[in-house]
Structure 1
Amino acid sequence: MKNVILGAAIVAGLTTAAAAETELSFYTGWQTLPHSRISGELPNGGGDYDELVGWKGDSFAAPPYYGARAMWWQPSGLGFGVEYTHTKAYADDDTLDTLGFSQLEFTDGHNVLTANVHKRWEDRWGNITPYVGGGLGIAFPHVDADHESGSNTYGFQVTGPAVRLTAGASMPINDRFSVFGEYQFTYSTNEGDFEDGGSFDTDIKTNALNIGVSLNF
Structure 2
Amino acid sequence: MLNKLVKRASAALSLGVVAAFAAFATPASAEIELSFYSGYQTAPHSRVTGTRGASSGGTAFNNLIGWQGKSFEMPPYYGFRATWWQPNNLGFGLEFSHNKVYAPAAEMPAGFTRLEFTDGLNLLTANVAKRWPGKLGGAVTPYVIGGLGVAIPHVDVTEGTNRTYGYQFTGAAARLTAGLQYRLTDRWSVFGEYQFTWSQNKADLTGGGKLNTRIFTNALNVGVGFTF
Q: TM-score, normalised by structure 2?
A: 0.86
Give the structure 2 partner of residue 163 of structure 1: 174
Alpha-carbon separation, structure 2, partners of 1:27 and 1:123: 23
The residue that corresponds to 1:52 in the other structure is 64
Determine the C-alpha separation between the residues in 1 that align with 2:74 and 2:163. 21
Structure 1 distance, partners of 2:47, 2:143, is: 33
2:25 to 17, 20, 40: 17
Confirm or deny that 1:153 pairs with 2:164: yes
Counterpart of 2:25 in 1: which secondary structure?
helix
User: Is residue 30 from structure 1 mapped to residue 24 from structure 2 by the alignment?
Assistant: no
Moved over 6 A (4+): none
Partner of 1:5: none
CA distance in 1, matches of 2:77, 2:110: 27
Q: Identify which of 181, 203, 206 aligns with 1:192.
A: 203
Distance 1:207 1:193 in 2: 26
The offset of 1:46, in angstroms, is 4.0
Please give the secondary structure, in 1, of the residue aligned with 2:207.
helix
Taking the aligned partners of 1:99 and 1:182, their CA distance within structure 2 comes to 38
Gaps of 5+ in 2: 1-21
Q: Secondary structure at the match of 2:169?
A: coil
- Aligned ranges 1:1-217 → 2 under 5 Å: 17-18=25-26, 19-43=29-53, 44=55, 45-96=57-108, 98-125=109-136, 126-148=138-160, 150-217=161-228
TM superposition shift of 1:124: 1.4
Shift of 1:91: 0.7
CA distance in 2, matches of 1:122, 1:116: 19
- The CA RMSD over aligned residues, in Å, is 1.4
Shift, 1:17, TM fit: 2.6
- Matching residue's letter, 1:192: A
Quote the offset at 1:147 in angstroms: 1.6
For these two proteins, the number of residue pairs brought into alignment is 202
Identity %: 56
